Amino acid sequence: AAGVIQSPRHLIKEKRETATLKCYPIPRHDTVYWYQQGPGQDPQFLISFYEKMQSDKGSIPDRFSAQQFSDYHSELNMSSLELGDSALYFCASSSQETGVGELFFGEGSRLTVL
């Protein structure tokens, strides 16, 4: 069965550069969630989208933005990167239509800022 696909899996950037992470949800899933997990830290919820509209916002820095496209994939854009942005970024997807509420996670994108 198709799973949640994230790309790239690994990314190395310099300080002050920009980075874009992509998340492709499971087919027919309409909701995407983004999380950030710093080294040795608990994951933190960043932002979520339902039907291409932002549905909830967590601890996402102002330097970050995200959107969900018509094919339901989502992109997390990070600008003016700082060393502290180095983390594993997860996305998850679910289907509001089925109402089951189970989350399906991607493998994560590991961002290293040098």
Q: How far is the CB of 16 from other proteins (least distance, A)?
A: 26
CB of 29 within 8 A of CB of 72? yes
- Smaller CB distance to other proteins: residue 75 or 107? 107
- Smaller CB distance to other proteins: residue 19 or 93? 93
Chain contacts with other proteins (rule: CB under 8 A): 31, 33, 35, 37, 42-45, 48, 50, 55-56, 58, 88, 90, 92, 94, 96, 101-108, 110
What are the tokens at 64? 């970050």
CB of 85 within 8 A of CB of 65? no
What are the tokens at 19? 């980075």
Q: Which one-letter DSSP state was computed for residue 9?
A: S
Q: How far is the CB of 55 from other proteins (least distance, A)?
A: 5
Residue 58 identity (one-letter amino acid): G
Q: How far is the CB of 41 from other proteins (least distance, A)?
A: 9
